[in-house]
């Protein structure tokens, strides 16, 4: 496997990990908000800044996914037909 194809594969794996992380963060935010409501409490950071720590983590993860998407597009544009065929075999 060429170096570019290897980088593409590793970047795609990192993107998949980031998607799983994002889903977990969204779930955690939902559970946290539900628990705070049950306790009749508010998120202090959110009340001060407008965003909770989980909101910030979600935004950061979304930006990371967007960056990985850009890298993946750029890498795919540079692959040879042979490298593309090899990647398709591995998928």
Confidence of residue 84 (pLDDT cuts 50, 70, 90): confident
Structure tokens at 17: 């990990």
Residue 30: pLDDT band by 50, 70, 90 thresholds? Answer: very high
> Going by C-beta distance under 8 Å and a sequence separation of 6 or more, which residues neighbour residue 7?
75
pLDDT > 60? residue 49: yes
Residue 78 near residue 38, CB atoms below 8 Å: no
> What span, in angstroms and rounded, lies between the C-alpha atoms of 68 and 5?
15
What tokens were used for 44?
């202090």
Does pLDDT of 88 surpass 90?
no
What's the mean per-residue pLDDT of the chain? 90
- Work out how many domains the chain is built from and give that number: 1
What residues make up the domain containing 75? 3-90
């Amino acid at each position: 496997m060429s170096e570019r194809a290897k980088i593409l594969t590793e970047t795609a794996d990192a993107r998949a990990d980031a998607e799983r992380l994002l889903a977990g963060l969204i779930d955690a935010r939902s559970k946290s908000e539900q628990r705070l409501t049950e306790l009749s409490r508010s998120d202090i950071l959110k009340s001060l800044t407008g965003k909770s720590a989980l909101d910030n983590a979600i935004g950061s993860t979304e930006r990371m996914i967007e960056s990985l998407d850009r890298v993946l597009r750029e890498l795919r544009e540079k692959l040879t037909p042979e490298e593309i065929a090899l990647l398709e075999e591995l998928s």
